[in-house]
């Protein structure tokens, strides 16, 4: 079985393919303009035998489990500091490298953390079910349509909250693009198949389009699209 490549000293290493939640960390590194090394750990569920001798590095590979015993991507290693939660990874990177993406003061730090936790607890659990339904080819089946409809109803309140917050604002916190926008945009991207939700919430639609128009997002997506299914 393939082993993880040797890490370079004092360079951020991002473990995970672009077609995963690692996309959040790749986008963030691009926004910050920091060098990083990508270790393309693939999801074990995408392999017939993830423990085969010739299997690519995946989330069940012993070498990766030594990095993240939970067997989930992404993980980052920043000069020996290992973190394993994608949204928290971005908060750390923003705080470390500073600049306009980072909180300017304690108030902004609280707001950015609040929006990030809100996205993780109130939006993503429903949004990811929609993605998985499409991944499984269930979107046109009765069960799949019922699941998606349930998720859409659950998401309406969250879309309404963000729509109200964006009244008179282009971004979430501090009147500028911050890590909060990166984190929420990547969570809300999971819902993009549901055009009706965005048509009913035009500020959310416009905000997400602005986020996704940024060069660092486009560069991340270009790499993501290069990866095979």
Number of domains in the chain: 2
CB 28 within 8 A of CB 179: yes
Among 98, 131, 164, the domain boundary falls at 98
The answer on pLDDT for 215 being more than 60 is yes
Number of C-alpha atoms within 13 angstroms, CB side, residue 179? Answer: 32
- Please indicate, yes or no, if residue 123 is contained in any of the structural domains: yes
pLDDT tier, 2 (very low <50, low <70, confident <90, very high otherwise): low
- Note the pLDDT tens digit of each residue in 105-138: 999 999 999 999 999 999 999 999 999 999 999 9
- Please indicate, yes or no, if residue 59 is contained in any of the structural domains: yes
- Note the pLDDT tens digit of each residue in 168-212: 999 999 999 999 999 999 999 999 999 999 999 999 999 999 999
- Please indicate, yes or no, if residue 229 is contained in any of the structural domains: no
Please give the pLDDT value at position 172. Answer: 98
User: Are residues 120 and 184 both part of a single domain?
Assistant: yes
Please give the pLDDT value at position 78. Answer: 97
- Please indicate, yes or no, if residue 4 is contained in any of the structural domains: no
**Which domain does 175 fall in, by range?**
106-217
Among 38, 70, 98, the domain boundary falls at 98
Cβ partners under 8 Å of residue 206, min gap 6: none
User: Are residues 111 and 49 both part of a single domain?
Assistant: no
Q: How far is the C-alpha of 216 from the C-alpha of 229, rounded, in Å?
A: 22
- Please indicate, yes or no, if residue 226 is contained in any of the structural domains: no
User: Are residues 48 and 92 both part of a single domain?
Assistant: yes
- Please indicate, yes or no, if residue 2 is contained in any of the structural domains: no
- Please indicate, yes or no, if residue 5 is contained in any of the structural domains: no
Q: How far is the C-alpha of 120 from the C-alpha of 118, rounded, in Å?
A: 5
Comparing C-alpha atoms, which of 33, 49, 50 is closest to residue 41?
50
């Amino acid at each position: 079985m393939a082993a993880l490549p040797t890490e370079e000293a004092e360079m951020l290493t991002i473990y995970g393919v672009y077609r995963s939640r690692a996309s959040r960390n790749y986008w963030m590194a691009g926004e910050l303009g920091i060098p990083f090394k990508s270790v393309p750990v693939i999801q074990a569920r995408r392999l017939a035998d993830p423990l085969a001798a010739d299997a690519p590095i995946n989330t069940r590979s012993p070498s990766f489990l030594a990095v993240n015993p939970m067997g989930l991507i992404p993980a980052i290693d920043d000069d020996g500091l290992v973190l394993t939660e994608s949204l928290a990874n971005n908060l750390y990177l923003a705080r470390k490298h500073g600049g306009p993406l980072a909180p300017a003061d304690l108030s902004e730090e609280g707001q950015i953390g609040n929006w990030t936790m809100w996205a993780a607890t109130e939006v993503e659990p429903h949004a990811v079910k929609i993605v998985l339904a499409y991944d499984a080819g269930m979107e046109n089946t009765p069960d799949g349509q019922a699941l998606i409809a349930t998720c859409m109803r659950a998401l309406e309140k969250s879309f309404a909250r963000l729509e109200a917050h964006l009244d008179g604002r282009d971004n979430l916190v501090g009147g500028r693009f911050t890590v909060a926008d990166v984190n929420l945009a990547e969570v809300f991207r999971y819902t993009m198949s549901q055009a009706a939700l965005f048509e009913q919430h035009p500020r959310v639609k416009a905000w997400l389009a602005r986020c996704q128009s940024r060069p660092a997002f486009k560069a991340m997506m270009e790499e993501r699209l290069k990866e095979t299914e």
